[in-house]
Structures are given as C-alpha cells and as structure tokens.
C-alpha cells in the first residue's frame, strides 16, 4: 500500500515515514451461492454475501477519513500521517447472473447487483463509502450471421447497456473554498451527497471477411460508444480560476472505426482465424 511510504518533513529537514507501522486490514466474508444450469447453453447464478472489515487505517483524532475511500476521487492523499488501524467497514448484497453461452449464432449476459457499502472513521459515525452505488445492472448480447456461399464470412452485432446508482461524495463548501482559494469540503457531511445515476449504451457492428486466395482474415468494426450521448458525471472540483464548482463528464457519444488483418491457418481446408 502506497500510504505506507508517505513521508513528513521535520523541522530539521529530515523525512520520516509516519504510517510505516500500520498493520494489514482484516475481514470476515460469508457467501451463499447457487449455480443452476437451466439448459445446455443457459446458466443462472446467484450469490448472497456479507463482508465485515476491521483494522482499516484512519486518523488518530476523530474524523471521517478512511483508507476505504481512497481512489474514489482519482487522487491519492499526500498529507495523511500517523494513521491507526481502528476503522471498520461492511459490504453486503445480492448478485445475479443469467448467461446464454454462444450457440446458434448468438449470446447474452445479464448481471445485476444490489448492495450496501458502509464504513466508520475514527469519529465512529457510520457513513456511505464513496463506492456505495446501491445497484449495478449490465445487459449485453450479440448476434452473428454467416455470409457467402460457403459461409466463410460473417456479419456481427453486439450491444451493451450499463446502469448504476451514482457514487457518493463529500459536498464542496463553495463559500469557504472561494475565501481560501482552494477546495474545501464539508467534512461533517462526508459522503452524504449522491451523484446522478450512470447510464450508457454501446453498440458495435462488425464484418469479417476470409480471403481464400490470399489466406487472410479482414475484420472491420464500427464501435459506437455512449449511443444516447448521456452526461455521466466523472467528478466535481472547485476551480480556483473561476471560483466555481466545475463538473467533468465521462466521454460523450464517440464513434470508432477499426480494421485488422490476420493470416489464416489452413487445416483440412478450413480457414481459421
């Protein structure tokens, strides 16, 4: 863990590692699962789980900080020193997977998760973790059609739909941030504000052509990312230049064309890629 390597400069200019004595986090995990093969190419899998985490690094004085939330804002704390293993966390939920294996030219996969993710810092107040989206649902599938007299070529279509609850964050104190000239968050309300839900649809069209004369395989793909052009929030930050809160979004609608060529291997007159 990189947090063990954090150093602090003393008055004499020397550097000391303030978190080097931290111990490992520990957890108890319980899982109840059921896996059922409904048909030769269909499977249903469910899991009910509970995880209790202890020994989480937190600050020695009462605060909402916990290592369990590091990385949520795509930044790593560099001024957290003297941590102690006195924090806790809990994760529990239900997961479901319905899978259609590739056969007869198509496949499908549906996954869903309902969950809670909580933690306690050194102030002993239970809060949402930054990753407590509450739910995540993924649906993907695809179909392939063989083309040509000898069915050596193929046209394919794939699609993926993803939706999830918004991440939790600590609200920014705009007035204090403007006065201080830097971002200040309201620690008393740590991880109490939930961002808007995430939603995205991706679609991909593909053509595969096997050249019998040149023994080459050509693949052409048109990948359409975020088809509905949804504004999914990436993060929010205080802008010192404008004295406002800026919202950054994930990639908008983005089409991408890709082409690849591969040499075919001939075995018993079959063209394999």
**Cβ(41)–Cβ(100) under 8 Å?**
yes
The answer as to whether 107 is a domain residue is yes
Contact 167, 161 (CB under 8 A): no
The enclosing H or E element of 175 equals helix 174-180
Residue 65 lies in a domain: yes
Classify residue 146: in a domain, yes or no.
no
Whole domain around residue 11: which residue ranges? 1-132
Contact 23, 65 (CB under 8 A): no
**Looking at the domain assignment, is residue 152 inside a domain?**
no
Q: Mind listing the pLDDT tens digit for each residue in 66-105?
A: 999 987 776 777 778 889 999 999 999 999 999 999 998 9
Q: Is residue 104 part of a domain?
A: yes
Q: How many domains does the chain have?
A: 1
pLDDT of residue 16: 81
pLDDT reported for residue 15: 79
DSSP class of residue 24? P
Cβ neighbours, 10 Å, residue 251: 11
Each as own residue / partner, the long-range contacts of residues 79-82 (CB below 8 Å, 24 or more positions apart, any chain) are: 80/3, 80/6, 80/19, 81/6, 81/8, 81/18, 81/19, 82/18, 82/19
Per DSSP, 86 falls in state: E
Residue 239 inside a domain? The answer is: no
For residue 223, what pLDDT is reported? 95
Q: Tell me the mean pLDDT per 10 residues along the chain, length 273.
A: 73 79 94 94 97 96 93 74 94 98 94 98 96 97 89 92 96 95 93 96 93 75 96 93 94 91 52 40
Distance (Å, whole) CA 131 – CA 116: 9
Structural domain includes residue 1: yes
Looking at the domain assignment, is residue 257 inside a domain?
A: no
pLDDT in the model for residue 264: 52
Beta strands in 135-264 (DSSP E): 135-147, 153-164, 168-169, 193-194, 198-211, 216-225, 233-239, 244-249, 254-263
Residue in the structure block whose two tokens are 């001939």: 266
**pLDDT of 14:** 77
Residue count of the chain: 273
Nearest to 43, CA basis, from 138, 142, 110: 110
């Amino acid at each position: 863990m990189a947090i063990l390597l954090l150093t602090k400069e003393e008055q004499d200019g020397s550097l000391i590692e303030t978190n080097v004595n931290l111990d490992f986090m520990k957890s108890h995990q319980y899982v109840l699962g059921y896996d059922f093969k409904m048909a030769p190419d269909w499977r249903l899998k469910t899991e009910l789980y509970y995880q209790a985490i202890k020994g989480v690094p937190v600050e020695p004085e009462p605060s909402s900080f916990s290592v369990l939330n590091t990385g949520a804002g795509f930044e790593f704390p560099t001024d957290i020193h003297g941590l102690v293993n006195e924090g806790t966390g809990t994760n529990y939920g239900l997961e479901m997977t319905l899978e259609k294996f590739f056969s007869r030219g198509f496949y499908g996969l549906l996954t869903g998760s309902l969950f809670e993710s909580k933690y306690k810092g050194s102030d002993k107040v239970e809060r949402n973790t930054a990753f407590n989206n509450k739910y995540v649902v993924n649906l993907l599938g695809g179909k392939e059609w063989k083309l040509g007299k000898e069915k050596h070529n193929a046209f394919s279509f794939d699609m993926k739909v993803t939706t999830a609850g918004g991440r939790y964050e600590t609200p920014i104190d705009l007035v204090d941030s403007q006065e201080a000239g830097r971002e200040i968050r309201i620690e008393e309300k740590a991880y109490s504000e939930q961002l808007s839900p995430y939603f995205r649809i991706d679609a991909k069209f593909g053509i595969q052509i096997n050249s019998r004369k040149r023994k080459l395989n050509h693949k052409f793909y048109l990948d359409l990312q975020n088809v509905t052009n949804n504004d999914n929030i990436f993060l929010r930050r205080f802008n010192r230049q404008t004295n406002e809160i800026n919202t950054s979004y994930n990639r908008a609608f983005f089409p991408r064309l890709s082409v690849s060529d591969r040499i075919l291997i001939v075995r018993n007159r079959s063209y394999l890629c």
